[in-house]
Copies of this chain bind each other. A is one copy, B any other.
Amino acid sequence: MARSRIGIWLIGARGGVATTTLVGLSALKKGLVGTTGLVTHLPRFAHLELPDWKDFVVGGHEIREVPLLDEAMRLATESRAFDAALVTRCRAELNRIDSRICRGTIHNVGRKIAGLASSEVPRRESPREAIDRIGEDLKQFAESQRLDHLIVVNVASTEPAVDTSAIPPTWEELEELLDRPRKCPLPASSLYAIAALDRGASYINFTPSLGSAPAAIDDLARLRKTRHFGCDGKTGETLLKSTLAPMFGQRNLDVMSWVGHNIFGNMDGQVLDDPVNKKTKVQSKNQLLGKILGYEPDSLVSIEYIKSLGDWKTAWDHVHFTGFLGTPMCFQFIWQGCDSLLAAPLVLDLIRLTDLARRRGETGLMTFLASFFKSPHGVDEHGFVRQFQMLEAWAQSPGRQ
Protein backbone atom coordinates (compact mmCIF):
# COMPACT_ATOMS: atom_id res chain seq x y z
CA MET A 1 0.00 0.00 0.00
CA ALA A 2 1.09 3.56 -0.65
CA ARG A 3 2.29 5.17 2.55
CA SER A 4 0.21 8.00 3.99
CA ARG A 5 1.35 10.86 6.13
CA ILE A 6 -0.62 10.74 9.37
CA GLY A 7 -0.77 13.47 11.96
CA ILE A 8 -1.17 12.76 15.65
CA TRP A 9 -2.44 15.72 17.63
CA LEU A 10 -2.38 15.24 21.39
CA ILE A 11 -4.54 17.29 23.77
CA GLY A 12 -2.50 17.49 26.98
CA ALA A 13 0.65 16.98 24.96
CA ARG A 14 3.10 17.28 27.83
CA GLY A 15 1.15 15.18 30.36
CA GLY A 16 2.29 11.76 31.52
CA VAL A 17 0.42 9.70 28.94
CA ALA A 18 1.36 11.98 26.07
CA THR A 19 4.99 12.17 27.11
CA THR A 20 5.26 8.41 27.41
CA THR A 21 3.49 7.96 24.08
CA LEU A 22 6.00 10.30 22.46
CA VAL A 23 9.05 8.71 24.06
CA GLY A 24 7.68 5.35 22.91
CA LEU A 25 6.88 6.51 19.38
CA SER A 26 10.31 8.10 19.03
CA ALA A 27 11.99 4.95 20.31
CA LEU A 28 9.92 2.75 17.99
CA LYS A 29 10.88 4.92 15.01
CA LYS A 30 14.52 4.41 15.92
CA GLY A 31 14.07 0.70 16.62
CA LEU A 32 15.28 1.14 20.19
CA VAL A 33 12.45 -0.79 21.84
CA GLY A 34 10.29 -3.82 21.23
CA THR A 35 6.55 -4.00 20.69
CA THR A 36 5.47 -5.36 24.07
CA GLY A 37 2.19 -3.83 25.14
CA LEU A 38 1.11 -2.95 21.59
CA VAL A 39 -2.11 -4.79 20.76
CA THR A 40 -1.75 -4.09 17.05
CA HIS A 41 1.50 -6.06 17.05
CA LEU A 42 -0.19 -9.30 18.07
CA PRO A 43 0.26 -11.99 15.43
CA ARG A 44 -3.49 -12.18 14.91
CA PHE A 45 -3.45 -8.63 13.49
CA ALA A 46 -0.36 -9.11 11.33
CA HIS A 47 -2.45 -9.22 8.14
CA LEU A 48 -3.86 -5.73 8.65
CA GLU A 49 -2.39 -2.89 6.62
CA LEU A 50 -1.59 -0.64 9.52
CA PRO A 51 0.58 2.47 9.25
CA ASP A 52 4.24 2.28 10.08
CA TRP A 53 5.72 4.26 12.97
CA LYS A 54 7.61 6.34 10.43
CA ASP A 55 4.34 7.54 8.89
CA PHE A 56 3.47 9.64 11.94
CA VAL A 57 4.15 13.27 12.68
CA VAL A 58 3.11 14.80 15.99
CA GLY A 59 1.80 18.07 17.40
CA GLY A 60 -0.60 19.04 20.15
CA HIS A 61 -2.17 21.43 22.62
CA GLU A 62 -1.07 21.96 26.18
CA ILE A 63 -1.86 24.51 28.90
CA ARG A 64 1.40 24.25 30.85
CA GLU A 65 4.79 25.62 29.78
CA VAL A 66 7.18 22.91 31.03
CA PRO A 67 9.51 21.47 28.33
CA LEU A 68 8.47 18.03 27.04
CA LEU A 69 12.01 16.77 27.58
CA ASP A 70 11.91 17.69 31.26
CA GLU A 71 8.63 15.85 31.69
CA ALA A 72 10.15 12.79 30.05
CA MET A 73 13.18 12.96 32.32
CA ARG A 74 10.96 13.33 35.38
CA LEU A 75 9.05 10.17 34.46
CA ALA A 76 12.34 8.35 34.05
CA THR A 77 13.98 9.45 37.29
CA GLU A 78 11.15 10.16 39.75
CA SER A 79 8.75 7.43 38.69
CA ARG A 80 11.28 4.96 37.27
CA ALA A 81 8.82 4.54 34.40
CA PHE A 82 11.53 3.97 31.80
CA ASP A 83 15.25 4.36 31.34
CA ALA A 84 16.69 7.87 31.33
CA ALA A 85 19.12 6.77 28.63
CA LEU A 86 16.16 6.16 26.33
CA VAL A 87 15.02 9.75 26.76
CA THR A 88 18.48 11.02 25.99
CA ARG A 89 18.57 9.09 22.74
CA CYS A 90 15.18 10.51 21.70
CA ARG A 91 16.01 14.06 22.70
CA ALA A 92 16.10 15.60 19.22
CA GLU A 93 12.77 14.10 18.19
CA LEU A 94 11.12 15.16 21.46
CA ASN A 95 12.37 18.72 21.07
CA ARG A 96 11.09 18.79 17.48
CA ILE A 97 7.65 17.72 18.66
CA ASP A 98 7.75 20.20 21.53
CA SER A 99 8.14 23.03 19.08
CA ARG A 100 4.84 22.07 17.47
CA ILE A 101 2.82 22.20 20.68
CA CYS A 102 0.34 25.10 20.84
CA ARG A 103 -1.51 26.67 23.73
CA GLY A 104 -4.72 24.87 24.63
CA THR A 105 -7.96 26.12 26.14
CA ILE A 106 -9.17 25.99 29.73
CA HIS A 107 -12.81 26.61 28.90
CA ASN A 108 -14.93 24.86 31.58
CA VAL A 109 -12.06 22.65 32.77
CA GLY A 110 -12.75 23.43 36.42
CA ARG A 111 -10.70 25.22 39.02
CA LYS A 112 -8.17 22.47 39.61
CA ILE A 113 -7.00 22.17 36.00
CA ALA A 114 -7.26 25.91 35.35
CA GLY A 115 -4.91 26.37 38.28
CA LEU A 116 -2.21 24.46 36.41
CA ALA A 117 -2.41 26.64 33.30
CA SER A 118 0.27 29.06 32.18
CA SER A 119 -0.67 32.73 32.28
CA GLU A 120 -0.35 32.79 28.47
CA VAL A 121 -3.41 30.60 28.04
CA PRO A 122 -6.45 32.72 27.06
CA ARG A 123 -8.84 33.15 29.98
CA ARG A 124 -11.92 34.64 28.30
CA GLU A 125 -12.79 32.91 25.10
CA SER A 126 -16.31 32.07 24.00
CA PRO A 127 -16.72 28.40 22.96
CA ARG A 128 -16.81 29.59 19.37
CA GLU A 129 -13.58 31.52 19.73
CA ALA A 130 -11.83 28.58 21.35
CA ILE A 131 -13.00 26.21 18.62
CA ASP A 132 -11.87 28.59 15.89
CA ARG A 133 -8.46 29.06 17.47
CA ILE A 134 -7.96 25.33 17.98
CA GLY A 135 -9.20 24.61 14.48
CA GLU A 136 -6.75 27.06 13.03
CA ASP A 137 -3.89 25.29 14.86
CA LEU A 138 -5.03 21.96 13.43
CA LYS A 139 -5.31 23.39 9.95
CA GLN A 140 -1.83 24.88 10.01
CA PHE A 141 -0.39 21.60 11.25
CA ALA A 142 -2.18 19.58 8.57
CA GLU A 143 -1.14 21.92 5.78
CA SER A 144 2.43 22.47 6.84
CA GLN A 145 2.96 18.74 7.24
CA ARG A 146 0.94 17.79 4.13
CA LEU A 147 -1.11 15.25 6.10
CA ASP A 148 -3.39 12.61 4.58
CA HIS A 149 -5.14 12.08 7.91
CA LEU A 150 -5.18 13.94 11.19
CA ILE A 151 -6.11 12.14 14.41
CA VAL A 152 -6.77 14.17 17.54
CA VAL A 153 -6.40 12.25 20.82
CA ASN A 154 -7.47 13.69 24.18
CA VAL A 155 -5.04 12.63 26.91
CA ALA A 156 -5.53 15.73 29.10
CA SER A 157 -6.56 15.65 32.76
CA THR A 158 -10.07 14.63 33.77
CA GLU A 159 -12.56 17.51 33.72
CA PRO A 160 -15.39 17.91 36.24
CA ALA A 161 -18.67 16.17 35.40
CA VAL A 162 -21.00 18.10 33.09
CA ASP A 163 -24.78 18.31 33.29
CA THR A 164 -25.50 17.02 29.80
CA SER A 165 -29.25 17.53 29.98
CA ALA A 166 -28.82 21.03 28.59
CA ILE A 167 -27.03 19.83 25.44
CA PRO A 168 -29.36 19.58 22.43
CA PRO A 169 -29.34 16.34 20.38
CA THR A 170 -28.34 17.73 16.94
CA TRP A 171 -25.32 19.58 15.67
CA GLU A 172 -27.53 22.23 14.12
CA GLU A 173 -28.98 23.13 17.53
CA LEU A 174 -25.70 22.82 19.41
CA GLU A 175 -23.87 24.96 16.91
CA GLU A 176 -26.17 27.86 17.76
CA LEU A 177 -25.15 27.75 21.42
CA LEU A 178 -21.45 28.22 20.75
CA ASP A 179 -21.75 31.97 20.88
CA ARG A 180 -23.71 31.94 24.14
CA PRO A 181 -21.28 30.79 26.84
CA ARG A 182 -23.93 30.82 29.58
CA LYS A 183 -26.11 28.36 27.67
CA CYS A 184 -23.27 26.17 26.50
CA PRO A 185 -22.00 23.71 29.14
CA LEU A 186 -19.42 22.14 26.83
CA PRO A 187 -16.00 21.65 28.47
CA ALA A 188 -12.68 21.98 26.69
CA SER A 189 -12.59 18.29 25.70
CA SER A 190 -15.75 18.80 23.64
CA LEU A 191 -14.50 21.98 22.03
CA TYR A 192 -11.38 20.14 20.84
CA ALA A 193 -13.63 17.35 19.55
CA ILE A 194 -15.78 19.81 17.62
CA ALA A 195 -12.77 21.62 16.18
CA ALA A 196 -11.28 18.32 15.06
CA LEU A 197 -14.39 16.68 13.62
CA ASP A 198 -15.58 19.88 11.91
CA ARG A 199 -12.34 19.85 9.89
CA GLY A 200 -12.65 16.15 9.04
CA ALA A 201 -10.07 14.96 11.55
CA SER A 202 -10.67 11.79 13.58
CA TYR A 203 -11.12 12.15 17.34
CA ILE A 204 -10.33 9.77 20.19
CA ASN A 205 -11.18 10.56 23.82
CA PHE A 206 -8.80 8.59 26.03
CA THR A 207 -10.08 10.33 29.20
CA PRO A 208 -13.36 10.24 31.15
CA SER A 209 -14.08 13.86 30.18
CA LEU A 210 -17.15 14.59 28.04
CA GLY A 211 -15.33 14.89 24.68
CA SER A 212 -17.39 13.67 21.73
CA ALA A 213 -19.97 11.83 23.84
CA PRO A 214 -22.96 14.15 23.13
CA ALA A 215 -25.23 12.95 20.34
CA ALA A 216 -24.88 16.36 18.69
CA ILE A 217 -21.14 15.85 18.28
CA ASP A 218 -21.63 12.36 16.88
CA ASP A 219 -24.05 14.04 14.47
CA LEU A 220 -21.27 16.42 13.45
CA ALA A 221 -18.85 13.52 12.88
CA ARG A 222 -21.32 11.80 10.56
CA LEU A 223 -22.08 15.05 8.69
CA ARG A 224 -18.35 15.56 8.11
CA LYS A 225 -17.89 11.85 7.24
CA THR A 226 -15.30 11.35 9.88
CA ARG A 227 -15.06 9.10 12.95
CA HIS A 228 -14.56 9.20 16.70
CA PHE A 229 -14.66 7.08 19.85
CA GLY A 230 -14.16 6.99 23.60
CA CYS A 231 -14.07 7.20 26.46
CA ASP A 232 -11.55 6.59 29.22
CA GLY A 233 -8.74 4.23 28.35
CA LYS A 234 -8.99 0.90 30.18
CA THR A 235 -5.52 0.35 31.56
CA GLY A 236 -5.55 -1.04 35.09
CA GLU A 237 -8.08 -1.80 37.78
CA THR A 238 -11.06 -1.52 35.44
CA LEU A 239 -9.35 -3.74 32.89
CA LEU A 240 -9.09 -6.35 35.61
CA LYS A 241 -12.69 -5.83 36.65
CA SER A 242 -13.95 -6.30 33.11
CA THR A 243 -11.85 -9.46 32.89
CA LEU A 244 -12.85 -10.95 36.22
CA ALA A 245 -16.49 -9.96 36.64
CA PRO A 246 -17.69 -12.12 33.72
CA MET A 247 -16.21 -15.17 35.45
CA PHE A 248 -18.13 -14.50 38.64
CA GLY A 249 -21.27 -14.09 36.56
CA GLN A 250 -20.71 -17.19 34.46
CA ARG A 251 -20.12 -19.32 37.55
CA ASN A 252 -23.32 -17.89 39.11
CA LEU A 253 -21.36 -16.71 42.14
CA ASP A 254 -23.20 -13.94 43.96
CA VAL A 255 -20.95 -10.88 44.28
CA MET A 256 -22.08 -9.14 47.46
CA SER A 257 -19.52 -6.33 47.38
CA TRP A 258 -16.63 -5.18 45.22
CA VAL A 259 -14.35 -2.60 46.79
CA GLY A 260 -11.50 -1.01 44.85
CA HIS A 261 -8.97 1.38 46.30
CA ASN A 262 -6.56 3.08 43.91
CA ILE A 263 -3.55 5.10 44.96
CA PHE A 264 -1.08 6.94 42.76
CA GLY A 265 0.90 10.13 42.60
CA ASN A 266 1.12 11.59 39.11
CA MET A 267 -0.51 14.78 37.86
CA ASP A 268 -3.63 12.86 36.92
CA GLY A 269 -3.78 11.92 40.59
CA GLN A 270 -3.36 15.52 41.66
CA VAL A 271 -6.28 16.59 39.49
CA LEU A 272 -8.45 13.71 40.70
CA ASP A 273 -7.72 14.80 44.25
CA ASP A 274 -10.39 17.44 43.64
CA PRO A 275 -13.78 15.80 44.29
CA VAL A 276 -15.45 17.38 41.28
CA ASN A 277 -12.90 15.87 38.93
CA LYS A 278 -12.81 12.58 40.81
CA LYS A 279 -16.54 12.12 40.41
CA THR A 280 -16.21 11.88 36.61
CA LYS A 281 -13.58 9.18 36.95
CA VAL A 282 -15.31 7.11 39.60
CA GLN A 283 -18.53 7.04 37.58
CA SER A 284 -16.61 5.73 34.62
CA LYS A 285 -14.90 3.03 36.70
CA ASN A 286 -17.95 1.97 38.67
CA GLN A 287 -20.72 1.35 36.17
CA LEU A 288 -19.54 -1.83 34.49
CA LEU A 289 -20.15 -4.28 37.33
CA GLY A 290 -23.92 -3.93 37.14
CA LYS A 291 -23.83 -4.23 33.37
CA ILE A 292 -21.72 -7.39 33.43
CA LEU A 293 -23.39 -9.12 36.38
CA GLY A 294 -26.99 -8.09 35.79
CA TYR A 295 -27.37 -6.81 39.33
CA GLU A 296 -25.69 -4.12 41.41
CA PRO A 297 -23.33 -5.39 44.09
CA ASP A 298 -22.40 -3.04 46.91
CA SER A 299 -19.57 -1.23 45.22
CA LEU A 300 -16.94 1.31 46.21
CA VAL A 301 -14.17 2.87 44.14
CA SER A 302 -11.70 5.29 45.64
CA ILE A 303 -8.83 7.10 43.96
CA GLU A 304 -6.36 8.82 46.23
CA TYR A 305 -3.31 10.92 45.50
CA ILE A 306 -0.21 9.58 47.26
CA LYS A 307 2.75 11.54 46.01
CA SER A 308 5.45 8.93 46.65
CA LEU A 309 3.89 6.51 44.16
CA GLY A 310 4.47 8.78 41.19
CA ASP A 311 3.16 7.17 38.02
CA TRP A 312 2.75 3.76 39.67
CA LYS A 313 -0.93 3.06 40.09
CA THR A 314 -1.48 0.59 42.88
CA ALA A 315 -4.94 -0.86 43.27
CA TRP A 316 -6.33 -3.21 45.89
CA ASP A 317 -9.63 -4.84 45.02
CA HIS A 318 -11.63 -6.91 47.50
CA VAL A 319 -14.42 -9.03 46.07
CA HIS A 320 -16.76 -10.58 48.62
CA PHE A 321 -19.00 -13.22 47.12
CA THR A 322 -21.33 -16.00 48.08
CA GLY A 323 -20.84 -19.49 46.77
CA PHE A 324 -22.99 -22.59 46.91
CA LEU A 325 -25.01 -23.02 50.12
CA GLY A 326 -24.59 -19.32 50.84
CA THR A 327 -21.06 -19.43 52.26
CA PRO A 328 -19.14 -16.15 51.88
CA MET A 329 -15.74 -16.31 50.15
CA CYS A 330 -13.18 -13.75 49.13
CA PHE A 331 -11.02 -12.79 46.17
CA GLN A 332 -8.50 -9.97 46.33
CA PHE A 333 -6.06 -8.56 43.86
CA ILE A 334 -3.24 -6.06 43.95
CA TRP A 335 -2.23 -4.30 40.77
CA GLN A 336 1.05 -2.41 40.55
CA GLY A 337 1.30 -0.88 37.11
CA CYS A 338 2.99 2.13 35.65
CA ASP A 339 -0.02 4.05 34.42
CA SER A 340 1.52 5.96 31.55
CA LEU A 341 3.24 2.84 30.24
CA LEU A 342 -0.05 1.00 30.19
CA ALA A 343 -1.84 3.85 28.46
CA ALA A 344 0.76 4.89 25.89
CA PRO A 345 0.75 1.75 23.71
CA LEU A 346 -3.05 1.82 23.62
CA VAL A 347 -2.92 5.39 22.32
CA LEU A 348 -0.60 4.22 19.55
CA ASP A 349 -2.84 1.22 18.82
CA LEU A 350 -5.93 3.42 18.64
CA ILE A 351 -4.22 5.74 16.18
CA ARG A 352 -3.19 2.89 13.90
CA LEU A 353 -6.63 1.29 13.98
CA THR A 354 -8.38 4.64 13.44
CA ASP A 355 -6.28 5.19 10.35
CA LEU A 356 -7.34 1.79 9.01
CA ALA A 357 -10.98 2.67 9.72
CA ARG A 358 -10.55 5.80 7.62
CA ARG A 359 -9.06 3.83 4.75
CA ARG A 360 -11.98 1.42 5.02
CA GLY A 361 -14.31 4.42 4.70
CA GLU A 362 -15.93 3.98 8.10
CA THR A 363 -17.59 6.95 9.82
CA GLY A 364 -19.29 7.66 13.14
CA LEU A 365 -18.63 5.63 16.28
CA MET A 366 -15.77 3.11 16.06
CA THR A 367 -17.44 0.55 18.34
CA PHE A 368 -14.89 -2.13 17.41
CA LEU A 369 -12.50 -0.27 19.74
CA ALA A 370 -14.65 -1.05 22.81
CA SER A 371 -11.99 -3.22 24.49
CA PHE A 372 -9.73 -0.17 24.85
CA PHE A 373 -12.20 1.86 26.94
CA LYS A 374 -13.84 1.86 30.35
CA SER A 375 -17.01 3.48 28.98
CA PRO A 376 -17.21 2.60 25.28
CA HIS A 377 -19.78 4.83 23.57
CA GLY A 378 -22.82 2.95 22.36
CA VAL A 379 -21.55 -0.47 23.46
CA ASP A 380 -23.40 -2.55 26.04
CA GLU A 381 -20.82 -5.34 26.28
CA HIS A 382 -18.41 -4.68 29.15
CA GLY A 383 -16.73 -8.07 29.40
CA PHE A 384 -13.17 -7.71 28.15
CA VAL A 385 -12.84 -10.94 26.18
CA ARG A 386 -16.09 -10.37 24.31
CA GLN A 387 -15.10 -6.77 23.58
CA PHE A 388 -11.81 -8.08 22.24
CA GLN A 389 -13.74 -10.46 20.00
CA MET A 390 -15.42 -7.38 18.48
CA LEU A 391 -11.95 -6.15 17.51
CA GLU A 392 -10.98 -9.55 16.12
CA ALA A 393 -14.20 -9.74 14.11
CA TRP A 394 -13.62 -6.26 12.68
CA ALA A 395 -10.05 -7.19 11.79
CA GLN A 396 -11.26 -10.30 9.99
CA SER A 397 -14.26 -8.88 8.16
CA PRO A 398 -13.84 -5.32 7.02
CA GLY A 399 -17.04 -3.32 7.17
CA ARG A 400 -18.91 -5.68 9.51
CA GLN A 401 -18.63 -5.26 13.25
Nearest B residue to A81, CB-CB: B327
Judge if A230 is at the interface, Cβ distance under 8 Å. no
A254-288 interface mask toward B, CB cutoff 8 Å, 1 = contact, 0 = none?
A: 10110101010000000000000000000000000
Nearest B residue to A333, CB-CB: B333
A68-89 interface mask toward B, CB cutoff 8 Å, 1 = contact, 0 = none?
A: 0000000000001111111000
Judge if A314 is at the interface, Cβ distance under 8 Å. yes
Pair A328/B308 contact, Cβ less than 8 Å: yes
A320-338 interface mask toward B, CB cutoff 8 Å, 1 = contact, 0 = none?
A: 1011111111111111111
Judge if A160 is at the interface, Cβ distance under 8 Å. no
| Chain A residues touching B, majority SS | mixed
Chain B residues, CB < 8 A from A302: 261, 302, 304
Q: For residue A29, give the distance in angstroms from its CB to the closest CB of chain B.
A: 14
Judge if A156 is at the interface, Cβ distance under 8 Å. no
Chain B residues, CB < 8 A from A376: none
Give A338 to B326 CA distance when docked, in angstroms. Answer: 11
Chain B residues, CB < 8 A from A334: 330-334
Pair A336/B345 contact, Cβ less than 8 Å: no
Give A336 to B334 CA distance when docked, in angstroms. Answer: 13
Pair B307/A324 contact, Cβ less than 8 Å: no
Chain B residues, CB < 8 A from A24: 324-325
A residues 25-53 near B (Cβ < 8 Å) are 27, 33-39, 41-43
Give A332 to B86 CA distance when docked, in angstroms. Answer: 29
Give A37 to B333 CA distance when docked, in angstroms. Answer: 21
A residues 237-265 near B (Cβ < 8 Å) are 239-240, 243-244, 246-247, 249-254, 256-257, 259, 261, 263
Give A322 to B325 CA distance when docked, in angstroms. Answer: 24
Chain B residues, CB < 8 A from A20: 324-325
Chain B residues, CB < 8 A from A81: 325, 327
Judge if A161 is at the interface, Cβ distance under 8 Å. no
Contact A326 B42, CB 8 Å, known A306-B257, A331-B334: no
Pair B38/A325 contact, Cβ less than 8 Å: no
Contact A300 B304, CB 8 Å, known A80-B80, A244-B243: yes
Judge if A318 is at the interface, Cβ distance under 8 Å. yes
Pair B318/A341 contact, Cβ less than 8 Å: no
Give A249 to B323 CA distance when docked, in angstroms. Answer: 29
Pair B316/A338 contact, Cβ less than 8 Å: no
Pair B341/A336 contact, Cβ less than 8 Å: no
Give A257 to B82 CA distance when docked, in angstroms. Answer: 20
Pair B36/A254 contact, Cβ less than 8 Å: yes
Contact of A326 among B33, B243, B298, B300 (CB under 8 A): B33
A residues 172-228 near B (Cβ < 8 Å) are none
Q: For residue A141, give the distance in angstroms from its CB to the closest CB of chain B.
A: 26
Judge if A23 is at the interface, Cβ distance under 8 Å. yes
The 16 listed contacts between A and B (C-beta, < 8 Å) are: A20-B325, A37-B322, A83-B325, A243-B246, A243-B247, A244-B244, A261-B261, A261-B316, A263-B318, A308-B328, A323-B337, A323-B338, A323-B342, A324-B342, A332-B333, A385-B386
Write the residues of chain A forming the contact surface with B, with a CB cutoff of 8 angstroms.
20, 23-24, 27, 33-39, 41-43, 80-86, 239-240, 243-244, 246-247, 249-254, 256-257, 259, 261, 263, 294, 298, 300, 302, 304, 306-309, 314, 316, 318, 320, 322-338, 341-342, 344-345, 371, 383-386, 388
